[in-house]
Amino acid sequence: MSTLIVTLPPSMPTPTTPCSVVWAEDDRTVKRHLDAPLSLLPATPDAEVVVLVPVGQLSWHRLDLPKGTLDRNFFQEGNAQRLRSVLDGLLEERILDEPAQVHFAIEPGAQTGAPTWVAACDRTWLSAWLTALEHAGRTVARIVPEMAPLTANAEATPVLLVVGTPDHAQLVCCSHLGLTVLPLTPASVALLTQAHSGDSPQQVIAEPAVAELAEQHFRARVSLQTAPQRAVAAAQSAWDLAQFDLLRTRGTRTRKQLATWGTDLLQAPHWRPARWAVLALVAINLVGLQAWAWKEQSALAAKRAAIRNILTTTFPDVRVVVDAPLQMTRSLADLQRQSGAAASGDLETMLGLFQALAPEISIPTAIEFVAGELRLKVITPSEDAVLAATAKLQANGYSAVLDGDRLILKQERRP
């Protein structure tokens, strides 16, 4: 699945404000990079739209949240407002703006009792850009920071990133202590090196335009990373700044969570063995069902062939087999008639059976027998007597139906 990564500029959105846009294939390969206003973004109907908030638009705060603050259910809305109120109280003295004008987001996987990183940015600015993207037909799936501090239990080493131009180069330090942005000078390099002297050797990354300058300051070779590559890497982050008022309803959160899980299951590399296992399981079950169906069809065909063989062997005069049980019944009845014995569908057999099984019903005043159907005119019997007679006759292969003052008997066809 492709991803359209839109880096938001620091200004408010206008029809002509250009955005830095990266179109990535397979969440890794940069396919296209351009700067264009929202109305001129490339048409990517199947791409996931990810908004990237630049480093300069976010401030980071490390908090110890009170116990019970993060205890919330997946489908519960009330605790989000309570958590937002707690953040307003804890950060009121740390931010310059009023808390109501600032959007907060908590780090993914935050746990009570451990320090938690909270990102803060201008709510009006972010909401305006999200609305502009929505009006441009770009529904935002996630909001991620360009860079984020390392968590307290992260094993990754601090990252030093040199960005900008040779005339205005900046040094960004990303570590478990926070995110620091300083001008690239010998003093800032010495300050950050001293602050992280106890950590593992820092990883220095630079944009191509300032790579030579970074090598001079750090006196070592640096790794190159372009701005589009950094945007693609940021899109893989577990962070999602769409929280609280930017995720307004329970249904939105549910759909968002399900979409994230679905995308991970269908596309994430670490789920590839599971996907292959599911496909193999489905294939095995389909093959098993086909084999079972073939076996059942073969058994049914063998039974039908055995019935036809019994019919043609017992009654050689039958040349064409259409309905073996019915043809066998008729042939047996013909033999009984030829030998003088009463068949099951003859008048004598049916009268004798009626006399034996329905003694509660009065003697019929009229008898009519036509084509294996016996009609007996009787004085209206009781309902219990008819039900009892019907049950006994059905057990012997005959049906009995009361039609007015007539009781109709006929032989049932059985397979």
CA 379 – CA 173 distance, rounded (Å):
106
Instruction: Please give the pLDDT value at position 150.
Output: 85
CA 187 – CA 279 distance, rounded (Å):
58
C-alpha dihedral over 133, 138, 141, 142, to 10 degrees?
-40
SS3 label, residue 143:
strand
List the alpha helices (DSSP H) in 268-377. Answer: 272-314, 324-339, 347-357
Paired with 181 in beta bridges are 172
Q: What is the Cβ-side half-sphere exposure of residue 19, based on CA atoms within 13 angstroms? A: 29
CA 212 – CA 192 distance, rounded (Å):
19
CA 384 – CA 269 distance, rounded (Å):
73
pLDDT tens readout for residues 113-153: 788 999 999 999 999 999 998 888 888 888 999 999 987 66
CA 39 – CA 136 distance, rounded (Å):
6
pTM tops 0.85:
no
Domains assigned to the chain: 1-147+237-267 (3.30.420.380), 149-226 (3.30.420.40), 342-411 (3.30.1360)
- Rg of the chain, C-alpha, whole Å: 42
Instruction: Please give the pLDDT value at position 282.
Output: 93
Residue 125's nearest CA partner among 54, 25, 206 is: 54
Q: Who's near 234: CB < 8 A, 6+ residues apart? A: 5, 52, 144, 145, 146, 147
409: DSSP letter: E
113: DSSP letter: T
SS3 label, residue 93:
coil
CA 135 – CA 306 distance, rounded (Å):
73
CA 35 – CA 19 distance, rounded (Å):
5
Instruction: Please give the pLDDT value at position 404.
Output: 72
CA 118 – CA 59 distance, rounded (Å):
8
* Residue pair 206/164 in contact by the 8 Å Cβ criterion: no
The stretches in the chain having pLDDT less than 50 are 73-77, 249-250, 415
Instruction: Please give the pLDDT value at position 249.
Output: 46
pLDDT tens readout for residues 120-130: 999 999 999 99
Report the first-to-last Cα separation within the chain, whole angstroms: 58
Residue 126's nearest CA partner among 42, 58, 47, 33 is: 58
* Residue pair 238/108 in contact by the 8 Å Cβ criterion: yes
* Residue pair 231/52 in contact by the 8 Å Cβ criterion: yes
* Residue pair 331/319 in contact by the 8 Å Cβ criterion: no
CA 182 – CA 171 distance, rounded (Å):
5
SS3 label, residue 168:
strand
* Residue pair 103/91 in contact by the 8 Å Cβ criterion: no
SS3 label, residue 224:
strand
* Residue pair 278/183 in contact by the 8 Å Cβ criterion: no
SS3 label, residue 382:
coil
Instruction: Please give the pLDDT value at position 76.
Output: 45
